[in-house]
Structure 1
Amino acid sequence: MPSMASVLEDPSLERHFKGHKGAVICTDFNPNRKQLASGSVDKTLMIWNLAPKARAFRYVGHQDLITGVQFSPSGHLVATSSKDRTVRLWTPTMKGESTVFKAHTATVRSVAFSHDGQRLVTASDDKSVKVWSVHRQCFLYSLNQHTNWVRCARFSPDSHLIASCGDDRTVRLWDTSTKHCINCFTDPAESATFVGFNSSGTCIASSGADSSLKIWDLRTNKLIQHYQVHSAGINSFSFHPSNNYLISGSSDSTVKILDLVEGRLIYTLHGHKGAVITVAFSRAGDLFASGGADGQVLMWRTNFDKKSYQDVLQQHSRRSTPDPAPHLTDIHPRTPHLHRQQRSAIQISPAVADTQSIDPHVIELGRSVHSATLLSGRTHLTPTQAADNGRPSNGLPARHGASSGVGGWMGDESTTSRAGAAVWTGESGGGRGRREEEEEEEEERGQTHPLEVLSGHPSSLDCTLRHIVKQLDILTQLYFQNDGSA
């Protein structure tokens, strides 16, 4: 049997977080090492404070599922992308302030900061990649050579390049200074779902719906490693800061850990029930998170980067269980190797329900401070509290056709985004007032488990009772109508 010391070199489940009411789509660690963010099908952003017994924050505002989340390099902002076609910038504090701006004309699939935190890059089903100014909150330029949905876009560590991938089965590399596509890696097999740079910016990896993961060396523009270790599509992956390891999450319900130096699979983690949709290393690499269809966020301690895996494997030889050996196609390997049959990966199946972490107390925050809209190619910040009778404080109508000649980008018809209770577009013909929208939102909140809700709106119970009375009135009228017809 392996010694206790060797067991401590395995990845270990540190905590699990429950609070989402739907699948967890995206996760990211705050660089300050104190918070973990997650976005979900339930339309909410959760900020989990990593200190013991700390409260968690639930941020309400997006009108559809959240597809991407990332902390700024300073940790003072969180960006989210959504199927509601908007991007939000949140302050991950008790104030729960956020800025909303219309980002694309279709679902926004991903959002990411540049290394200096000055820019955002977004990818969308409208087939475009867009770059935005964070502080001015304005659109800068668009990259438009993809011919199908764009699933993911990321800045290189030096912010000079952008990598993007999508359903047109290409991975594209863009020069941010010239705005030109400087390389295109085509994969005829399947659409690419996720793309990312390693920490040195020398390599990019992409994963696909066909369960493969490929790594290209940007110095030679050659495919250097090809892994086929999952039995279903790969939804997300993350490079360790050392560039020696990579974690991947798949619809086969597992997290896999790859040793990129030796070019092999070393661990298979079985903590989730259902598809693993997101994985992310912390900035220091000592922790990583995974989230999935089971609505859970699991936080793991890395451990395996402490020591040579060959030494760990020798100590674990009796504990290893059969697992198909990884299929490797090393076109340009870092070190020669003979593709010999290798020992299987170590299987780890943590008892998630037995962890000692306690579900944190959740505080719900749903207040948006500004809505950023693009008018005639410029960005206007509209305080949501000043919106009155469907007209923002700058006197412009809430609905206004807008376009920008920059990069061929065309603005969407509606320039003011619906932002929960905080932004009211005042759409004509709707017959709905601000008060009614607020009541509907409170009714929706009333269906969740009890939370401490920080909001100036009427209580959830009050609105729920009013809703019940209204329904009873309708049923009573229907009863007498039916009785009279009989």
Structure 2
Amino acid sequence: MKSDFKFSNLLGSVYTQGNLVFTPDGTTLLSPVGNRISSFDLVNNTSFTFSFENRRNVERIALSPQATLLLSVDENGRALLVNYVRRVVLHHFNFKEKVQDIQFAPDARHFAVALGRHVQVWKTPSFSEDREFAPFVKHRQYTGCHADVTSITWSTDSRFFIASSKDLTARIFSLDPTPNFTPTTLSGHHDAIICAFFSKDQECIYTVSRDGALFRWNYKSPRKRDANNDQEELDPSTQKWMITGKHYFQQTGAKVRCAAFHLASNVLVVGFSTGLFGLYELPSFTVIHTLSISQNDIDNVVINKTGEWLAFGSSKLGQLLVWEWQSESYILKQQGHFDAMNALAYSNDGQRIVTASDDGKLKLWDTRSGFCIVTFTEHTAGIEAVEFAKRGTIMFSASLDGSLRAWDLIRYRNFRTFTATSRLQFSCLAVDPSGEVVCAGSIDSFDIHIWSVQTGQLLDRLAGHEGPVSSLSFSQAGGMLVSGSWDRSIRVWDVFGRSMSVEPLHQQSDVLAIAVRPDGKIIAVATLDGQLSFWDINNGVQVGLIDGRKDISGGRKLGDKITSYTSAGSKAFRSLCYTADGSCIIAGGNSKYVCIYDVESSCLVKKFTISTNLSLDGTQEKLNSKNLTEAGPLELIDQTGDASDLEDRIDNTLPGATRGDLSRRRVRPEIRASAVRFSPTGRSFAVASTEGLLIYSLDDHLIFDPFDLEIDITPSTTLSIVKEKEYLKALVMSFRLNEPYIIHQVYESIPPQDIQLVAKELPEVYLRRLLQFISKHVEESPHVEFHLLWIEALLTHHGRVLKEKSINYGSELRNIQKCVGRIQNELARLSDSNSYALSYILEHQKVVLMEKNVDSMEIDNDESSMTIEEDEGEWQGFA
């Protein structure tokens, strides 16, 4: 079995905290998710998560105007410089302080960082032939603010920037020393300024404060009264920034949390603490739209380049919304689980994953797009187990609310609910391969309940265990049910047989999880002592043993007084899954590690670290002694009363509560892998972890292109290679140059007889770009047959890729279909008009012949007949 799985995507969480960023083209949205960054393509409806990780949760991100460099800064001020195109980390840097805001200048030469009361401007790292040992070079540090800087806004010419502060002022700084310019302070607000914006012509400045006030500033002279004429005159020598307008949002009891301004359309969007946002047109302050999109704070808002889409992030519920305000419709509406994930299951085709959580919700995720398809909220308590039926269109879930529910994934509804005779908390379930019977185990009762899926009636209760049932699994062959319990035994039940006598298979410790090999002959059992044992079902003997305590042993928690090596808290597997061929097994537990074992040799094949986020508990191997105080670990001490803002100091939590809707979490979340599952195809596996649903895959989506490094690509060399008749290489080089006229020239230089060969050898990485070029070029090109030959060749040789990744190539295929349909309609219309023209010509021929026959009656018979024969021959040939 191949073991070189790599991190592929992160589902189950779309926004954690920090700011959102649109790419310069306005079609892709970047969102911080824990210590990673996710990218959402809003046109093709796909998403992916960058593979790199910050040390802690990401606080701020910034993307250069050319979309080449990405800056990611965590809570402690440690930054990563990333090549956005190649998704590769270029440099690590530490600002040594919490970063409040970070913004690139419009010319991309500098970026400004808000650090406490200061603003630092750094030169943007750029490529040079000289080796640079310090990519980050500080340009200048700006001071003057008396409180923390909240935001930074650059002018359009990149000469000035505004630093908003909690000291109720905003200050204008110049990047370089400018004659006759001194840093200007804009004061007059009664609360902290959230952000400030330049107008497009830089003749006006807008400042927004937290108490809901909007001030407009203009650079003008104060009016003074002439003593002789008793008239107001302007003094040009005393020009300064003055308040020319005051507006208020009139949201009683609400605070402004964020704001964004679109220069081209003069549209301001403001997000409030009540979940309401408002859209205003400036400078008239006309209310365009107001809408409530959440019941909690809107933490960040951003506008794309065209000004059509508004992106909102709410960290309380992990919501991410993209709203098109002109059509009043959602472009994207995603929300992760509010609480920890407990279980997951793959559909039979491997294209969908369902996750269950303590928040009582089931979410169905598309593995290709990375988006949530549907959310089921019928359960009223935490969901502990979920399974797909054999057919794949029916799903079952077991909850602590005392019910099992069957879900129809075609109509997306709950069509059957199973309950016991008394109220029980179900913790595990198993579905018969035929889909006729469903079983569930409980932590309250030691019996196993069996229901009929067709009627919903309780068929039987299997008694025999002397402790809570922790795991259930059906054998794919023979209809045998395997159960594991805390009474240190596993039992094999013949559900459809008449004999109910079952001999237990005793274990050395409590059974936490079981898995049946696909052929139904071997059982894998995970026990509390960290061991994996393998049992033969038919003979009832143990055939293998793996001691995984050292493999699963995770990091040290902040409250631990002993090392992770001597701690037994995380030294046990709590979830098991066989591969499709049964040769390997994957296991995970309350640890940061997930292990894959070879069953036959009992060897560890590979161990994966699911997270290195230091914001989670259990990711560090050793603790830093300087963070230990007399009151305990420094990070566990409640510092709510030391916050600077009143609303942050107010404590509304329940005494002793650590999670839930009405409380604030006072303990750090702990890293764990609550469930692991292999895809039915064997090409990937999923881990339900504290940070979300992690997908590891064998397929590398980022294809390496060696032409970048090996060939000196210029227009002249590209055209010379065309003359040498190396058409494939020339086509690839033209795509790397990305010059439309070069691509056009190379494309039409390829002979029609070589199209099939070039299309067959074309790398997949250029398939999308070639389809895009053809769809655009067909509109203005007369070579119809030439384009149709290309389309036929590409669909013939790359049809499998286009079908498997139809979501990725959806827009290109739709454009091609539109072009082919247009050609078909034009040809049909042309043929119809030609047929009408031919009919007219034939009818006109008959009329002319009749007229000539009449005229020829007065002419000599021989001459007339000769003329008619000649004319008939000419018309006949023409016809």
**CA positional deviation for 1:244:** 0.4
- 2:751 is matched with which residue? none
Q: Is 1:298 the equivalent of 2:694?
A: yes
Paired residues for 1:7-406 under 5 Å: 10-17=4-11, 18=13, 19-52=336-369, 54-93=371-410, 95-103=412-420, 105-125=423-443, 126-176=445-495, 177-178=497-498, 180-187=500-507, 189-229=508-548, 230-231=552-553, 232-272=571-611, 274-292=671-689, 294-301=690-697
State the alpha-carbon separation in 2 of the partners of residues 12 and 228 from structure 1.
26
State the alpha-carbon separation in 2 of the partners of residues 139 and 59 from structure 1.
24
Choose 91-100 or 225-234, whichever is displaced more.
Answer: 91-100
Q: Is the 8 A contact 2:363 2:372 kept in 1?
A: no
**CA positional deviation for 1:11:** 1.2
Partner SS, residue 78 of structure 1: strand
Residue deviations 1:193-227 (CA, integer Å, cap 9, x gap)? 11121000110111122221111122432211111
Residue deviations 1:24-56 (CA, integer Å, cap 9, x gap)? 111100103221011011111110012326443
Residue deviations 1:229-284 (CA, integer Å, cap 9, x gap)? 22312110001111100000111221100011222011111114611110111223
**CA positional deviation for 1:128:** 0.9
Paired residues for 1:406-445 under 5 Å: none
State the alpha-carbon separation in 2 of the partners of residues 207 and 77 from structure 1.
28
State the alpha-carbon separation in 2 of the partners of residues 97 and 106 from structure 1.
20
Gaps (5+ residues) in structure 2? 14-335, 554-570, 617-670, 700-879
State the alpha-carbon separation in 2 of the partners of residues 179 and 24 from structure 1.
38
Residue deviations 1:148-175 (CA, integer Å, cap 9, x gap)? 1111111111242111011111111112
Choose 25-34 or 53-62, whichever is displaced more.
Answer: 53-62
Paired residues for 1:440-455 under 5 Å: none
State the alpha-carbon separation in 2 of the partners of residues 31 and 20 from structure 1.
23
Equivalences, count: 296
Q: Is the 8 A contact 2:687 2:695 kept in 1?
A: yes
Partner SS, residue 67 of structure 1: strand
Once the two structures are aligned, what percentage of the paired residues are identical? 20
Give TM-score scaled by structure 2 length: 0.33
Indicate the structure (1 or 2) with the bigger Cα radius of gyration.
2
Q: Is the 8 A contact 2:417 2:456 kept in 1?
A: no
State the alpha-carbon separation in 2 of the partners of residues 268 and 68 from structure 1.
25
**Alpha carbons of 1:59 and 1:264: their partners in 2 closer, same or farther (altered >3 Å)?**
same
Q: Is the 8 A contact 1:143 1:179 kept in 2?
A: no
- 1:342 is matched with which residue? none
Greater relative CO, 1 or 2 (CA 8 Å, sep 6+): 1
**Alpha carbons of 1:53 and 1:153: their partners in 2 closer, same or farther (altered >3 Å)?**
closer
Residue deviations 1:166-193 (CA, integer Å, cap 9, x gap)? 1111111112212524331112x32111
State the alpha-carbon separation in 2 of the partners of residues 57 and 262 from structure 1.
42
Runs ≥4 residues deviating over 4 A: none
State the alpha-carbon separation in 1 of the partners of residues 575 and 491 from structure 2.
18
Residue type matched to 1:301 in 2? S
**Alpha carbons of 1:258 and 1:42: their partners in 2 closer, same or farther (altered >3 Å)?**
same
Q: Is the 8 A contact 1:43 1:63 kept in 2?
A: yes
Please state which structure has a larger fraction of its residues in helix: 2
Residue deviations 1:95-132 (CA, integer Å, cap 9, x gap)? 43343221463211111211111111111121111221
Partner SS, residue 47 of structure 1: strand
Residue type matched to 1:121 in 2? C
**Alpha carbons of 1:89 and 1:55: their partners in 2 closer, same or farther (altered >3 Å)?**
same
Q: Is the 8 A contact 1:39 1:69 kept in 2?
A: yes
Residue type matched to 1:186 in 2? H
Partner SS, residue 88 of structure 1: strand
Residue type matched to 1:289 in 2? A
Residue type matched to 1:118 in 2? E
State the alpha-carbon separation in 1 of the partners of residues 8 and 521 from structure 2.
32
**Alpha carbons of 1:181 and 1:258: their partners in 2 closer, same or farther (altered >3 Å)?**
farther
**Alpha carbons of 1:204 and 1:97: their partners in 2 closer, same or farther (altered >3 Å)?**
same
**CA positional deviation for 1:76:** 0.9
State the alpha-carbon separation in 2 of the partners of residues 215 and 59 from structure 1.
36
**Alpha carbons of 1:53 and 1:200: their partners in 2 closer, same or farther (altered >3 Å)?**
closer
Q: Is the 8 A contact 1:129 1:153 kept in 2?
A: no
- 1:445 is matched with which residue? none
**CA positional deviation for 1:302:** 5.1
State the alpha-carbon separation in 1 of the partners of residues 415 and 610 from structure 2.
33
State the alpha-carbon separation in 1 of the partners of residues 471 and 607 from structure 2.
25
Q: Is the 8 A contact 2:3 2:606 kept in 1?
A: no
State the alpha-carbon separation in 2 of the partners of residues 66 and 159 from structure 1.
29
- 1:421 is matched with which residue? none
**Alpha carbons of 1:302 and 1:204: their partners in 2 closer, same or farther (altered >3 Å)?**
farther
Q: Is the 8 A contact 1:43 1:64 kept in 2?
A: yes
- 1:448 is matched with which residue? none
Give TM-score scaled by structure 1 length: 0.58
Q: Is the 8 A contact 2:358 2:381 kept in 1?
A: yes
Choose 103-112 or 152-161, whichever is displaced more.
Answer: 103-112
